[in-house]
Amino acid sequence: MKRINLLAAALCLLLTVGLLVGSLLPGQASAADGAAPEKTIVMGTSPDYPPYENVDAAGSGDYVGLDIDIARHIADRLGYKLEISALDFNGLIAALQSHRVDFVMSAMSATEERRKSVDFSDYYYFARNTIVSKKENGFASLDELKGKRIGVQLGSTQEAVASGMKDVEIKKLNKISDLIQEIKTNRIDAAIIEDAVAMGYTDANPDLNFTMLEADSSSDGYAIAFPKGSPLTAQFNEALKEMKADGTLQKLVDKWFPEDREAKSKEGGGGFRLNFAKMEKYIGYLLRGVYVTLLFTLVSALFGFIWGGILSLFKLSRFVVLRGFATVYTSIFRGTPLLLQLMMIYYAVPQLFGYNIPALLAAGLAFGLNSAAYLSETIRGGILAVDKGQREASLALGIPYKTMMISIILPQAVKNILPALVNECVALVKESSLVSVIGVADLMRRASVVQADSFLAFEPLLIAGAIYYVLVLVLTSLARLLERRLRRSD
Amino acid sequence: MTDKKNEPAIIVENLTKSYGKLEVLKGISTTVVKGEVVALIGPSGSGKSTFLRCLNMLEVPTSGKIVIDGTDLTDRRTDITRVRQRIGMVFQHFHLFPHMTVIDNLTFAPVKVKGMSKEEARAKGMLLLERVGLKDKADVYPARLSGGQKQRVAIARSLAMDPDIMLFDEPTSALDPEMVKEVLAVIRDLASTGMTMLIVTHEMKFAREAASTIYFLDGGRLLERSEPASFFAKPQTERAAKFLEQVL
């Protein structure tokens, strides 16, 4: 009975901490708050595609860009309050279909393929494609790319262009910044990227340049996506028409795309150079990710330790059911990828329990549950390594089981396994970067936001790496202090 | 004290203990009266330690009955934790809590289990440490103590719970010879206070001087139970005679 109480207490603790964490992070659970008091519409977007949408990481941290501005104007005209939900580009259609968002604006081309799953508004912008390459290569047309290795963004219209070409080796990547990095390291010869984006990157990377391609009238323009049959589609089209008529749309386009864009192929030195001067203004934004990463590590380590401790007691219990449960649990959580567990919890919980679990809580839960599986084995080993006589001496003094475990056995076990516990914590700090797949703005996620915002592929990663290293260094120093304290009885 | 004499403290009826097919105790029956000091002797493997460990249920008997102060230990409904609080035990290897100072070793159980206040427990602990001659070691960790000192602390730790009965499981076997004396002196001192004690020991001289009764065990049976003087002068069984011949 006592053990079950302990378990319940631990779960309560976790839930409290988790909810607390969830409430600290605005915007994660917005779509689920249901029963909207005023008319709120939620826009889904992948804010890593300036100048259409990105995070103003150097300044306010708000979402900015052409799509954001257009959306705000339309929402204003229609009398809605706009909320923005940041998602991965590949998850946008799914978010529409599951009604997590009301509409999507993310420089999304209204392709035939997509029209099968969602409705689109009228086009609001047509982009032109460019070939981006190292300056010394300077491809003038698609024909010159024959026999070369070219890169495109997965799921983009450029992917369709590239797949229509012959004699080329195509590499598809998730992010534009990855494509840029591939060019700089000579893994691909060129990438097909749309004009506004190419401009930003070639500005920031003097060793690259781009060539405009002829406008392709047959290609699809960018449009706003809605769930099938949404009443919003007609309302948005009406608003777009008005904005086109009164020149608002053109004004917004001009704001984000300066006039002299074609003249922008410019001079500059080649070679591999790092540009950290440009990073300075992003440091604040990146450091705020440290808080998320640390909070997340703390929650999952604490939960993992408590739950792992309970599981290890199950494994040492004389009750077959508890032993069996703990063994099966460990084998499942150790036997499947952490990323998969994270996705399962994030996507399955809303469907099973109708609770739209905040991303950080889902991540803390997934990592805690996973970590507990490993720690339960470590702790079990630590407990078994404590001299059997300690247990007998406690029993002989009439000390109850729980008191014995908490005050006599575990302190000695923890002392023995401290190095392993520190390893687990360090691993958690670094594995925490996985949470960026579900949109938590941790350090790693912020690094890729800065990549997009600054058009620099390498520097944000180096800075994030340095911050991780310092975090781990601090953590290990703290652990050393703790160890010294525990060893004073030797 | 005298009025309590002959009142039974421990009644053991037909106690057996087996590990699988190996029968370690083959039916032991005896009664220990209050204030009695029993020395259990016998060759190794005779079952004397197992017998002792059954008395506070560190080993669960296979069959038979143990009644202490009217409470049947083998009854499933008995709260064994409460019974153990009245029975102190001292181990061959001390088993002090290494992560606690000496005084914390003494006060932990009284505070956590009996709900004694910390101040009271500490005052009592200091008195006990004085009694075993280790008052100045109160705030050091066990790792700093010699074997003899550790064992004296272990005895004080048991006494801190105010037990009615003390069990000693080869308390001097792990000690260097020069430390045996200091520990035996503490146990002898305790015996003179009228505490009911059972001591598994190989120290024949000590058994003869300090015990009121000698139990001789062999092969899982209690072969002899007599006063030290008569046992050492003229053992009744051939097995005991042979054993004494070897150890004396």
Peptide bond between residue A51 and the one before it cis (omega within 30 degrees of 0) = yes
Q: Is residue A265 part of a domain?
A: no
Of B85, B112, B143, Cβ closest to residue A403: B112
A400 touches B at CB < 8 Å? yes
Q: Which helix (H) or strand (E) holds B11?
A: strand B8-19
* B112: nearest CB among A407, A411, A486: A407
Same domain for A398 and A455: yes
Which positions in chain B touch A393 (Cβ < 8 Å)? 89, 91, 95-97, 154
Q: Are residues A121 and A138 in the same domain?
A: no
B58/A392 Cβ within 8 A: yes
Q: What is the mean pLDDT of each run of 10 residues along chain A (490 residues)?
A: 48 48 42 54 88 83 90 91 84 80 90 88 87 86 87 82 85 86 89 86 85 72 91 92 90 78 42 69 87 88 94 93 95 93 82 79 91 95 94 94 93 91 90 78 84 82 92 91 85
Domain assignment present for residue A28? The answer is no
Domain closes at, from A260, A290, A316? A260
ipTM, two decimals: 0.92
| Contact yes or no for A389 and B91 at CB 8 A | yes
For residue B244, the distance in angstroms to the closest alpha carbon of chain A comes to 31
DSSP assignment of A137-150 equals T---SGGGGTT-EE
Within this chain, do residues A122 and A135 fall inside the same structural domain, yes or no? no
* Dist CA B67 CA A225 (whole Å): 82
- A236 domain-assigned: yes
Q: What is the CATH number of the domain that holds A180?
A: 3.40.190.10
Would residue A152 count as lying in a domain?
yes
Partner A, chain B 75-94, Cβ-Cβ below 8 Å: 81-89, 91, 93-94
At residue A465, φ and ψ (nearest 5 deg) are -60, -45
The pLDDT assigned to A138 comes to 80
CATH of residue A403: 1.10.3720.10
At A40, phi and psi to the nearest 5?
-115, 135
Residue A461 inside a domain? The answer is yes
**Sheet containing A118-125: order of strands:** A81-86, A40-45, A103-104, A222-227, A118-125
Region B175-196: what's the mean pLDDT?
A: 90
Query: What is the pLDDT averaged over residues B53-72?
Result: 93
Which pLDDT tens digit goes with each residue over B11-46?
A: 999 999 999 999 999 999 999 999 999 999 999 889
Q: Cβ contact (<8 Å) for B99 and A397?
A: no
**Are A16 and A47 in the same domain?**
no
Indicate whether A250 and A292 sit together in one domain.
no
Say if residues B211 and B221 touch (Cβ distance below 8 Å): no
Residues A343 and A425 in one domain: yes
What does each C-alpha distance from B69 to A109, A445, B56, B193 come to in angstroms?
88, 69, 13, 19
> Helix, strand or coil for residue A104?
strand
**Mutation for testing the A interface, residue in B50, B52, B97, B169 having most A CBs under 10 Å:** B97
**Nearest CA of chain B to the CA of A394: how many Å?**
8
In a domain, A276, yes or no: no
Beta strands in B99-171 (DSSP E): 165-169
From A260, A291, A326, give the residue that closes a domain.
A260
Whether A33 and chain B come into contact, CB under 8 Å, resolves to no
pLDDT tens per residue across span B76-132: 899 999 999 999 999 999 999 999 999 999 999 999 999 999 999 999 999 999 999
Six-digit token pair at A299? Answer: 């929650």
What pLDDT, on a 0 to 100 scale, did the predictor assign at position A19?
A: 46
| Closest partner CB to A395 (pick from B58, B141, B154) | B58
Q: State which residue of chain A sits closest to B141, comparing Cα positions.
A: A489
Residue A403: Cβ-neighbour burial (10 angstroms; 0-12, 13-18, 19+): middle
**What is the rounded distance in angstroms from the CA atom of residue A190 to the CA atom of residue A148?**
8
Residue A30 lies in a domain: no
Beta strand pairing call for A129-134 and B213-218: unpaired
Instruction: Give the count of beta carbons closer than 10 Å to the beta carbon of residue A74.
Output: 28
Return the pLDDT at A264: 42
| Domain assignment of residue A273, yes or no | no
Q: How many domains, in total, are found in chain A? A: 3
Same domain, A429 and A479: yes
Chain A residues with beta carbon closer than 8 angstroms to that of B98: 412, 489
Structure tokens at A142: 């698609």
Per-residue burial over B59-94, b if 16 or more Cβ lie within 10 Å, else e, is bebeebebbbeeeebbeeeeebeebbbbbbbbbbbb
**How much is the pLDDT for A72?**
92
Are the C-beta atoms of A429 and A248 separated by less than 8 Å?
A: no
Give the structural domain span for A199: 129-212
Q: Is 90 exceeded by the pLDDT of residue B201?
A: yes
Are the beta carbons of B89 and B198 closer than 8 angstroms?
Answer: no
Measure Cα distances from B203 to B45, B94, B149, B182, B211 in Å: 17, 18, 19, 13, 11
Task: For residues A418 and A411, give the distance between their C-alpha atoms in angstroms, rounded to a whole number.
Answer: 10
Strands B8-19, A149-153: pairing kind:
unpaired
Task: List, in sequence order, every beta strand (DSSP E) within A27-80.
Answer: 40-45, 48-49, 53-55, 63-64
Residues A297 and A233 placed together within one structural domain of the fold: no
How far, in Å, CA of B3 to CA of A297, rounded?
A: 67
* A488 at interface of B, judged by CB pairs closer than 8 A: yes
Which pLDDT score, from 0 to 100, does residue B241 have?
92
> Are A148 and A286 part of one and the same domain?
no
Both A290 and A151 in a single domain?
no
Q: Is the overall model pTM greater than 0.80, yes or no?
A: no
Residue ending a domain, choose from A186, A212, A238: A212
The H or E element that residue A131 is part of is strand A129-134
Among B83, B99, B112, the residue with its CB nearest the CB of A399 is B112
User: What structural domains and CATH numbers belong to chain B?
Assistant: 2-86+165-247 (3.40.50.300), 97-163 (no CATH)
Residues A192 and A254 in one domain: no
Shared domain for A301 and A360, answered yes or no, is yes
Query: What's residue A218's pLDDT?
Result: 61
Establish if B246 touches chain A: CB-CB under 8 angstroms.
no
Cβ contact, residue pair A397, B58, below 8 Å: no
Nearest to A394 by CA among B166, B164, B112: B112
